[in-house]
Structures are given as C-alpha cells and as structure tokens.
Structure 1
Amino acid sequence: MRASSKSAHHRTIQVFAGLLLAIALALTGCTNAGDDSSDSGAGDSDKAAGLQAEGNGKGAAGSKADREQPKLTGTHIIRTAKLTVRVDDVPEALDEAREAAEDAGGIVGNESTSRDGEGRERSRVVLRVPQDKYEDVLTALEGTGKLLGKDAKAQDVTDQVVDVESRVKSQRASVARVRELMDRANKLSDVVTLEGELSTRQADLESLLAQQASLKDRTSLATITLSLTENGATADAQDDDPSFGDALGGGWDAFVTALRWVAIVLAAVLPFAAVVALLALLWLRVVRPRWTRRAAGDGQGED
C-alpha cells in the first residue's frame, strides 16, 4: 500500500510539472507571436514610410523638373540697321566701330574700302551684335562723326519661329516612325520603298533645321551695316583755286543759262509779237490801200 501510494504521488507530480511546462510554453509562444506581429507592423510601417518618403521625393523632384522646363522667351525679332556717317579719318572710325562691336560680344562681318573720283576714302563694314547691346552699339556708331543717314528696321518673326519648331518636332517623329517600320520590314520591296521615304523625310527635316538655325542666328544677333565717308576738307581746300577747266566749265554753264533765259523771254513775248504782226499786216494790206485810194479820189475832185 505504501509503495502504491508513493508511485501515485510521483505520477501526480509529473502530471503537474507537465501542465506547468505546457502553460509556460504557451505563454512563451504568445509573447513571441506578439513580438513578431509588432515587429512585422513596425516593418510595414517603415516600408510605408519609406515608400511615402520616396513618393514625396519623386513629387518634389517632379515639381522641380516642371519648374526647370524651358519656357518661351517671348517675341523673336530680327533687327537690322544701315548707317551712313561722315568722318575726318575713315581708318580710325573703322577701328572704333570694330572695337564697339567686339566689346559688346559681337563679330565683324564683310568689310570693303574704296576711293571715289575726288580721292575721298569710303569704307563699308557689316557688324553682328547681340540684341541686348543693339541700341548701345548703334548710339556709339552714330557718335563717330556726322550722321548722314539712318535706316533701322525690326521684323517680328515669332509666329515663324513657333511654326518651324513645331514642324521640326513633327518631322522628327515621322522619321522615327519610318525607321521603326524599316526594322520590322521583311520584304525587300518594302525595305526599298521605306528607304526612299526615309530619305525624303530626312531631307525635309534637314531643310527645317536649316531654317531654324537661320532664324536663331538672325534673332539672337542684330545686323548693322555701317558706311563711312571721308569729309574731304583737304580736297575742298584745293578746289578754292580755279583751273582752266573750271573756268571753261563755268563759262559754258553761264552761256547755257543765258540761252535758257533768252528762250524764256521769247516764249513770253511771242503771243504779243504775233498780235502786233497781225495788226501790221491788216494795216498794210487793207487799211492803208483804202486810205490811199480815198485820198487820191479827194484830190481829183478838187481839181
């Protein structure tokens, strides 16, 4: 009896210990599950925060990119001017014109120099200057001497610039489409046809690009054509002493002027002379013969 009671008591202790162990394991599992769920929630929160931050970063970058997109500069104007200036020293004035253009960030184009029949030096130079320096350079060139003539023009080509840019974009897309078709073509006839079409469209694109470059050049740089003439003070001083040719030319001019005045006077007197001649003819042919016959008849009656 005592042995059986001991064995029963021992089994009871083992069962109780097993229950305690099971409860401890269950509690440990719940704790780990809670930790795992919290860790998982934290991880998800971190991922969500990361995605949100990335989204915000992309949004900020996108808005910045939108702000940095190129905008239209407004109107596009082609400015040209022609100046004629009389100066004392043409080479010196020409150097000043070159310096004014180069200081403004421009360039010196075509240039020519010659002399007229009286020995006066003449120079013509084409200057290309930035649009924002156009007025300053124009004022500087006008101050090099006595301004004889000025012709300034401004042509608004904004619509033309926008049209060419749009056509260039469309033509590039057209060329790209033809190239895609060539990549997918299997027949030789299709390839030949597409090559001809591609060549035509590329030529049109190159023409549009040339127009675009020309417009960009003419709207970014203004063109000033400067003509310089020497005032010829030395030549005028030498002309103060008349020569034989000058005297002959002056005499001929005086003779021609006198003939012109004589012709004018004759033209003015001619109507009166015609009336006087008609009256004289009537006197000689009609009135005087009648008076003569009447006087003769009166004399015979008295006898």
Structure 2
Amino acid sequence: MNAPTTAARRALAALALAGVLALTGCSGSDGGSLSSADDKSVAEPAQAQADGKAEAPSDAAGASGEKSKGTPVLDRSFIVRTATLTVEAKDVPDALAESRTLVEAAGGYVGDESTSLDDEGREHSRVTLRVPPGGYDRVLGDLAGLGRLLERKVNAEDVTSQVVDVESRIKSQRASVVRVRELMDRATKLSDVVTLEGELSTRQADLEALEAQQASLKERTGMATVTLVLTEPDPSAAPKKADGFWASVGDALGGGWHALLVTLRVLLIALAAALPFAVLALLGVLIFRLLGRRRGGPAAPAPVTAPAPVTAPATAPEQPRP
C-alpha cells in the first residue's frame, strides 16, 4: 500500500515541476520577443511605424481579453432621465419664478430659458431645468402643481453598458499612450522620434475624445433634465357651467342682461349711422327756409274800399194837419 502511494506522489511532483518549467519558458520567450521587437522598432524607422500602427489592434485584443477575464461590474446603474411638462398657468411669470425656487431648493439649477407672445397676446415660457436624481420625482410633482397639467412625458435610458465600455477603452488607450512615450524615450534617430510623435498625437486625440464622452455621460446621469413649458389659458374657452336651480336663474338673468345690452348696442349703432344723414337733412331745411325769406313772396293785393252809401237829402218833417 505504501509503495504505490509513494510512486503516485513522485509522479505528481514530477508533473508539477514540468508544468512550472514550461510556464517559465513561455514567459521567458515572450519577454525576449517583446524586447527584441522594441529594439528592432528603435533601430528601423519603417518597422517602428508598422509596429506602432499594429499596436492598436493588440490593445483592442488586450481590452477584449480583460473583458473576457472579467468585465468590471459597477455597484450602481447609470440612468439618463428626461421629462417634458406642459402646464397652463394663469400668471406665467409667477409660475416661472416658483419653478426656479423649487429646482434650486432641490439642489439643481436653471438652464436655457425663452419667453414669447402668440398672436392672441398670450405669454408662453420654455425653460430647461437640471435636477439631481434624488429629488427628480418630487420636483416633477411640484412643477405639475403650478397650474393645470396639459401634457407630461417622462423617459429613462439605462447607459450603464456605455459607461463600462468607455471606461475600459480609456484604460486601454492610456496604456497605449504610455507605451508610445516609452518608445520615444528610447528612440535615438530623428526619424524614429518624428514617427512616434505622430503616433502619440493620434492616440492622445483618441484618448481626449473618450474622456469627453465619459464626461458627457457623467453629466447626463448625474443630473436629470426637465423641460417645462408654461402657457396662459385661452380666454375664448368657455368656463364650465354649474348645475342647479339658482345657477339656471343666474344664467337666465345673465342672458337677459346680455340681450338688453346687445339691443341697446344695436340701437346706438343705428343712431350713430343715421346721425350724419339727419344733420344733412336739417341743414337742407334751414337753408331752404333762409333762401325763401330773402327772395320774398308775391305782392299782396291792395285792399278794396267799399263806396260810401248814398243818403237821401234831409226833408222837413211833415206838419201834422189840424
């Protein structure tokens, strides 16, 4: 029993020793190839340029290798939140000032803002608000309470995979820039330095573009974007009528009063329209009378005097006869 066990232990030890030697040989051969490639790139400019261009795929392969070994898992998700609210407010400037107060109290800030008037004279304001994710839902509720909510659109986009991908690419690109700089420090020929400087500029530009993309993702996920549209109510919209007896009486009284006002208005308009013609007619009558008085009428006939009556001569009274 002891003899086979001892033999098995010796066989296992021999296999382990062979594996260690094989790993050591592989690592030694890799290190030798890298050092010879570096020396050759410094010695020959054309070969250095070819190696520099071929280094990007190797970096990508290294990055994919790192992902295959284990993609970094973030402790939280990255979500881009956007919302659009359309609110009808009686006083748009007051509602706009209150929205600024609500956002600043939540730790956010006000972005772009624009105000305009439509053809009917109603005021419209559009403002972009940046809100922290912690107070996002509460601020949306407060903004909807500024007036009558007409429209609400909310969107949430998960960009965690983009954040992980950009961080991995930035890490690989930084390592690539460091390797090119090490080659520049070891270069001795001017042509090699010029070639490596061009390659370094290209990789540095790619790194800056990735860092800008990372900053944009950080800003979008760090603050939610809320677009608030405030508008005044339409004055032509008829208010909702209340039901009930007194409401009907009030509606009838209001309708009668409105009819009376309309009638008086029509009469006043008719009188105003006829007034110029009445004035002209009155002036014509006055002128006609004035001209008639100046010309005078036909001569009146002389009065006819009746002749005096003929009287008989006076006679003596008769004497009474005796």
- Displacement of 1:74 after TM fit? 1.4
For residue 215 of structure 2, the aligned residue among 195, 208, 213 is 213
Query: Alpha-carbon deviations, 1:86-142, whole Å to 9, x = none?
Result: 001000000111011111111100000001111100000000011111101111100
Could you tell me which residue of structure 1 aligns to residue 144 of structure 2? 142
For residue 188 of structure 1, the aligned residue among 185, 190, 194 is 190
Could you tell me which residue of structure 1 aligns to residue 249 of structure 2? none
- After TM superposition, the structure 1 = structure 2 runs for residues 160-179 of structure 1, keeping only pairs within 5 Å, are 160-179=162-181
Could you tell me which residue of structure 2 aligns to residue 130 of structure 1? 132
Query: Alpha-carbon deviations, 1:222-271, whole Å to 9, x = none?
Result: 0000000011449979xx99x9xxxxxxxxxxxxxxxxxxxxxxxxxxxx
Q: Supply the distance in 1 between the matched residues of 2:228 and 2:238 (Cα, whole angstroms).
A: 24
Q: Supply the distance in 1 between the matched residues of 2:109 and 2:76 (Cα, whole angstroms).
A: 25
Give secondary structure in 2 for the equivalent of 1:118.
Answer: coil
Give secondary structure in 2 for the equivalent of 1:75.
Answer: coil
Q: Aligned pair 1:199/2:198, yes or no?
A: no
Q: Supply the distance in 2 between the matched residues of 1:73 and 1:234 (Cα, whole angstroms).
A: 55
Q: Aligned pair 1:121/2:123, yes or no?
A: yes
Q: Supply the distance in 1 between the matched residues of 2:172 and 2:81 (Cα, whole angstroms).
A: 29
RMSD of aligned Cα (Å): 2.3
Q: Supply the distance in 2 between the matched residues of 1:194 and 1:148 (Cα, whole angstroms).
A: 61
- After TM superposition, the structure 1 = structure 2 runs for residues 90-129 of structure 1, keeping only pairs within 5 Å, are 90-129=92-131
**Aligned residue-pair number:** 171
Structure with greater helix share of residues:
1
Return the letter of the residue paired with 1:82: T
Q: Supply the distance in 2 between the matched residues of 1:80 and 1:131 (Cα, whole angstroms).
A: 10
Q: Supply the distance in 1 between the matched residues of 2:198 and 2:84 (Cα, whole angstroms).
A: 46
For residue 157 of structure 2, the aligned residue among 134, 155, 158 is 155
Q: Supply the distance in 2 between the matched residues of 1:232 and 1:98 (Cα, whole angstroms).
A: 25
Q: Supply the distance in 1 between the matched residues of 2:184 and 2:103 (Cα, whole angstroms).
A: 51
**Contiguous gaps of at least 5 residues in structure 2:** 1-71, 240-257, 263-322
Q: Supply the distance in 1 between the matched residues of 2:212 and 2:206 (Cα, whole angstroms).
A: 10
**Contiguous gaps of at least 5 residues in structure 1:** 1-69, 244-303
- Tell me if structure 2 keeps the 8 A contact 1:118–1:235: no
Give secondary structure in 2 for the equivalent of 1:231.
Answer: coil
